[in-house]
A and B are shown apart, each in its own frame.
Chain A
Amino acid sequence: MTTEAGTVPPRRWASGRLADAVPVLVTTLVVLILWYAGAAWLNLPQAEEALTRSGKPFGGLDLLLQTYSMKRPILPTPDQVVVELWGSLTGYPLTSPRNLLFHAAVTAQAALTGLAMGVALGTLLAVGIVYTRTLDASLLPWVIASQTVPILAIAPMIVVILGNLGFTGLLPKAVICMYLCFFPITVGMVKGLRSADPLWLDLMRTYSAGGLRAFWSLRLPASLPFLFASLKVSVAISVTGAIVGELPTGGQAGLGARLLSGSYYGQTVQIWAALVMAALLSVLLIAVLRGIERLVLGRGGVR
């Protein structure tokens, strides 16, 4: 993937060749058709009930249109979600809890803080594992075991314990994100720090370079492509972690809180709008990450 980034200049997108766009358009179209079909099917009983209750006679088309305009559908249609999303983004100021960007910002803050903590922890563990034989044997099983515990089970406990220690708000959420995303970082960095070619290491030896120098000038730069691969995984699960972390707090802000309040009141359209917002947030963060990757690895990152 880095190979592409280096050899093909970014104008590939701008040039917008139709042939490139066709598969994307076809996929989108198929998804939309399936979505509308699913909405009609799932909302049918509700719609039928509503029309029957109104007492007016109705035909097949009336029924179909009714499935697409329910107030609290089982599955909202894409247009309903878009309208809800658009209304939330344009109808309220950024500081309003009714604006989804406000919630997205709260979630992003927790996710990015957690990601930074996860990178620090993951890198530290990887350095320990790579440089210390005993840690290599003893630490990795624990790291793997930590990931077999479902986050939904451990998240409330983290919130409770940290709350008890006086930490509320951002930190508990960030810790949950860190818990989720240090793992790919550790795995990637262990591989990355070991990825240096034996000849590159021999070369350092012929320069009588110390261990620290070999780390900074060789092992760390050699590991960066691996770090970015891990980061792409981590940033997405970090957003998930932040949302999960917002659930048990019954929080006032954040996409997770928005999902929770939506489900309290059966506001499925609101839930879906928040879900789409969460997906957009992840996409945005990954795009930013790709930009940083291109900047950091540059043309030299092509391997």
Chain B
Amino acid sequence: MHSPSPSRTNGATGQPAPAPIVEARSLSLVYPTADNRPVTALSEVDLTIARGDFVSLIGPSGCGKTTLLRVIADLEQPTGGRITVEGLTPEQARLKRLYGYVFQAPALYPWRTVERNVMLPLEIMGIPRAERQARAREELQRVGLSGFERKFPWQLSGGMQQRASIARALALKPDLLLMDEPFGALDEITRDHLNLHLTQLWRSTGKTCVFVTHSIAEAVFLSTRIVVMSPRPGRILDVIDCDLPRERTLDIRESPEFAAIAHRVRDGLKEGHSYDD
């Protein structure tokens, strides 16, 4: 391993120190509102995400899980606390294009073919045309969309569109993949299929994933760590290590270990009064 940054290497051995890829300390975000009752989207959030982890942020609507993801991506600015991404500020990380972002909706540009959608970030980076195309094809193949390069987004099913948007995020070759409920709008069968696909993708690429979801099963199935969040104000209740084997199949969801972790997540959500109302 070669690390360009000396601050991240351990002076004695020359080995890279296990620097966290994302580190948040007392992170807060308060939205001012017109009626002078500010909304606290994030309150005193402390979170460390290690390289190679698959971290799920789970919680009910309004718990700030999407906000936290958007703060990491520099799409929202925190009003308090500190956060670093790859040791940089989120803005620096964004400007260096250090992460790939997958939105709730596929957000493919309808006037571009699937391939040209995946090529868009590479176009913006100024990568030559031939390489752009090669990389787009490679990523489309990775998500199982070979043969659909020339199709327009509307010609694809919802699940395929979301896979194309994952390929687009991967095209930047980021170490960090930020995903905001990417499968939330899909039916359960498609969702299972994509979950399996995603966990294989994560294992084979060794990327760090931060994944927002409101599905307990999805979080337990995919994650190495699960961050349970609670609303009003948005805060972290519990961080659960999910020590199932890294190689996972859908059957794992029937195992007692899976059930035990799911139970703990549910307890955490209960503690945050997520089931009240």
- Within 8 Å of chain A (Cβ to Cβ): is B121? yes
Neighbour of A300 across the interface among B73, B74, B125, B152, CB < 8 A: B152
Closest to B125 in A: A207
Residues of A within 8 A of B152 (CB): 299-300, 302
Residues of A within 8 A of B75 (CB): 202, 205-206
Would you list which residues of chain B between 116 and 141 have a CB under 8 Å from chain A? 120-121, 123-125
Tally of chain B residues near chain A (CB < 8 A): 28
**Docked CA distance A238–B65 (Å):** 53
**Docked CA distance A188–B4 (Å):** 50
Residues of B within 8 A of A197 (CB): 105, 107
Residues of B within 8 A of A300 (CB): 110-113, 152
Residues of B within 8 A of A134 (CB): none
Q: Are A213 and B124 in contact (CB under 8 A)?
A: yes
- Within 8 Å of chain A (Cβ to Cβ): is B99? yes
Residues of B within 8 A of A200 (CB): 107, 109
Would you list which residues of chain B between 253 and 269 have a CB under 8 Å from chain A? none
A192-214 CB contact bits vs B (8 Å, 1 = yes)? 00000101101101111100010
**Docked CA distance A300–B111 (Å):** 4
Q: Which of A33-41, A165-173, A217-225 contacts B (4 or more CB under 8 A)?
A: A217-225
Closest to A213 in B: B124
**Docked CA distance A44–B14 (Å):** 108
Closest to B96 in A: A208
Residues of B within 8 A of A221 (CB): 109, 111
Residues of A within 8 A of B96 (CB): 208
Would you list which residues of chain B between 78 and 118 have a CB under 8 Å from chain A? 94-97, 99-101, 103-105, 107, 109-113
- Within 8 Å of chain A (Cβ to Cβ): is B31? no
Take A208-B95, A217-B120, A299-B152 as given contacts and tell me if A203 and B112 are in contact as well, using a CB distance cutoff of 8 Å: no
Q: Are B107 and A207 in contact (CB under 8 A)?
A: no
Take A206-B75, A207-B124, A213-B124 as given contacts and tell me if A302 and B103 are in contact as well, using a CB distance cutoff of 8 Å: no
**Docked CA distance A199–B74 (Å):** 14
Q: Are B111 and A199 in contact (CB under 8 A)?
A: no
**Docked CA distance A218–B101 (Å):** 17
Take A300-B113, A303-B110 as given contacts and tell me if A208 and B97 are in contact as well, using a CB distance cutoff of 8 Å: yes
Residues of A within 8 A of B73 (CB): 206
Residues of A within 8 A of B111 (CB): 221-222, 224, 297, 300-301
| Chain A min CB distance to B6 (Å) | 26
**Docked CA distance A297–B103 (Å):** 25
**Docked CA distance A213–B124 (Å):** 8
Residue numbers of B with Cβ under 8 A of A are 73-75, 94-97, 99-101, 103-105, 107, 109-113, 120-121, 123-125, 152, 154-155, 172
Instruction: List 21 A–B pairs whose Cβ atoms lie within 8 Å, in order of A's numbering.
Output: A200-B107, A200-B109, A202-B103, A202-B107, A205-B75, A206-B75, A206-B100, A207-B97, A207-B120, A207-B121, A207-B125, A208-B96, A209-B124, A217-B109, A221-B109, A222-B109, A222-B111, A224-B111, A300-B152, A301-B110, A302-B152
Taking A205-B75, A206-B75 as given, write out 8 further A-B residue pairs in contact, using a Cβ cutoff of 8 Å, ordered by the A residue number: A202-B103, A206-B99, A207-B120, A208-B95, A217-B123, A217-B124, A222-B109, A222-B111
Residue numbers of A with Cβ under 8 A of B are 197, 199-200, 202-203, 205-209, 213, 217-218, 221-222, 224, 297, 299-303
> Lowest 8 CB-CB distances: which A-B pairs, in order?
A199-B107, A300-B111, A206-B101, A208-B95, A207-B124, A221-B111, A300-B152, A207-B121
